[in-house]
Amino acid sequence: MSEETGQERTEQATAKRRQDFRKKGQVAQSREVNTAVLMSCSLLLWFFYAPMFWRNLQGLIVVLMERIGTFEVTPLSVIDLFMFIAGKVGLLLVPLLMMVMLVGFLSSVSQVVFLFTTKPLEPELGKLNPIKGAARLFSKRSLVELVKSLAKVLLIGVVAYRTVSAEFEQGLYLIDMEPSETVNYLGRVSLLVLAKSSGILILLAFFDFLFVRYELEQKMKMTKQEQKEEFKETEGDPMLKSRIRSLQTEMARKRMMAEVPTADVVVTNPTHLSVALSYRRGEMDAPQVVAKGADAVAMRIREIAGENGVPLVENKPVARALYKMELGQAVPDELFQAVAEILAHVYSLKGIKG
C-alpha cells in the first residue's frame, strides 16, 4: 500500500498488525539458529554417547576382521555382509538421530512460540509472477543469504582444513595403528572439527537472528494511512462514534428532563447549577437526584420545573454538593439534614405534613 499511496512506512507496527503477520506465518525465524542449536546439541549428545558408540564400533570392526580370513566372496555373501554392517551401524546411530531430530524440532518451535499455520503453504498467484520472482532473486535478503552462505562455507572450510592439517602427521601412521587407536584418532579429530564449526555457526546465528528480527520489524512498519484504516476497522469510524455518543447523550438528557416534572424540588445555585430531587415515602430511604445540569441545562431544568409547578429553592452550598452526585444516587448522610430542611420548607408551602 505504501507504494500505491506514495507514503513511507514510518510508524511502528500495532499489536493487530503483528498478530496478522503471525497468523500468516511471517515471524522472526532464523534457519541459522536452528542449524547452530542442532550442531551444538548434537555435539553435546555425541560427547556423552561417543564412548558407547566407539566401543560397539570397535567390537564390530573386530568381528569383521575375524571374518575376513574365512570370508568367501560371492554376490549373496557381499549383500549379507553389507546388510549386517548397515544393521549394526544403524542400531548404533538410531538413538542419536532421534535425539537430534527432537532437538531440531524444539529449536524451530521455540523461535515462533508454538505457532502452527498452513498459510505459507497456500498457493499465491503473485509468487508465479516472473518479474516479482526476478526481483526477489536480487533482493537485499537474497544478497544477505548469499554472503552468509559463502561466509559459512569459507569459515568452516578453513577451520576444518587447519584442524586436519594439524593432525595430518599423526594420521600418516593410521595404517600401523590398532583398530581401537584408529577409531579414537578419527573420533578426536572429528570432535575438534565439529566443536570449532559449532562456534562459527553460533556466531553466525546470533547476527542472523538480529538481522531477521530487524528485517521483520521494518517489514511490519505502517504508513499513517494504514494506521488510520486499521483504527477504523477495529475501533470504528471516529466521526460515527462521536455521532453515536452525541445521540446517546441527548437521549440520556431527554430521559433526565422527563423526571423533572415529577421532582419534589429543584435546588439552584441560583443560575449556574440546578439539581432536581425526588422523595417517595415508603419507596426510598432518602431523597434521590433525578436531574442535574449546569448553565443552559440548568436553565432548562428551571424552565420545566416552573412549567410543572415544581418549587425552586436557592441554596448554593447544597446545590454544589448535590451536583457532584450521580443521577439516581441517594442523598448522603452529611447532606441529609440540609436536604430535609429544604423538603420540609417545600412541603410546608404545599401544605403537606413532613
Domain ranges of the chain: 2-233, 258-350
Q: Is the pLDDT of residue 219 over 70?
A: yes
Mean pLDDT, residues 32-38 taken together: 83
User: Which alpha helices (DSSP H) does 221-261 contain, by range?
Assistant: 224-235, 238-259
**pLDDT over 70 percentage in the chain:** 82
What CA dihedral angle connects 301, 307, 308 and 312, to 10 degrees? Answer: 50
Q: pLDDT at residue 186 above 80?
A: no
Q: For the beta carbon of residue 10, count every other beta carbon within 10 angstroms.
A: 10
pLDDT of residue 136: 59
Whole-number Å distance between alpha carbons of 319 and 250:
23
> Rounded to an integer, what distance in angstroms lies between the CA atom of residue 325 and that of residue 318?
11
What does the alpha-carbon distance between residue 65 and residue 104 come to, in Å, rounded to a whole number?
A: 37
d(CA 37, CA 70): 46
Confidence (pLDDT) at 299 = 92
- What are the tens digits of pLDDT across the range 256-282? 999 999 898 999 987 789 999 998 887
Nearest to 27 by CA among 111, 104, 107, 88: 111
Radius of gyration of the chain measured on its C-alpha atoms = 42
pLDDT at 154: 92
The overall average pLDDT reported for the chain is 80
Do 349 and 265 contact (CB within 8 A), yes or no? no
10 contact partners, CB below 8 Å, separation of at least 6: 221, 223, 224
Asked if the peptide bond before residue 261 counts as cis, ω within 30 degrees of 0, the response is no
Between CA 12 and CA 21 the distance in angstroms is 14
What would the mean pLDDT of 97-118 be, rounded to a whole number? 70
pLDDT of residue 273: 92
Residue matched to cell numbers 515471524:
27
| Most confident region among 214-223, 244-253, 303-312 by mean pLDDT | 303-312
Residue 153 has pLDDT above 80, yes or no: yes
35-41 mean pLDDT: 83
Q: Are 84 and 71 in contact (CB under 8 A)?
A: no
Among 57-61, 107-111, 128-132, name the one with the lowest average pLDDT.
Answer: 128-132
pLDDT for 76 equals 81
Q: Which residue has the cell 572439527?
A: 193
Q: What pLDDT is recorded for position 303?
A: 92
Rounded to the nearest 5 percent, the helix, strand and coil shares of the chain are 70, 5, 20
pLDDT score of 125: 53
Q: What is the CATH number of domain 258-350?
A: 3.40.1690.10
Over residues 27-47, mean pLDDT:
80
Closest C-alpha among 111, 94, 101, 91 to residue 42: 101
Residue 103 pLDDT class (50, 70, 90 cuts): confident
Look up residue 140 and give its three cell numbers.
Answer: 537485499
| Contact between residue 56 and residue 187 where contact means Cβ atoms under 8 Å apart | no
Highest mean pLDDT out of 86-95, 115-124, 146-155: 146-155
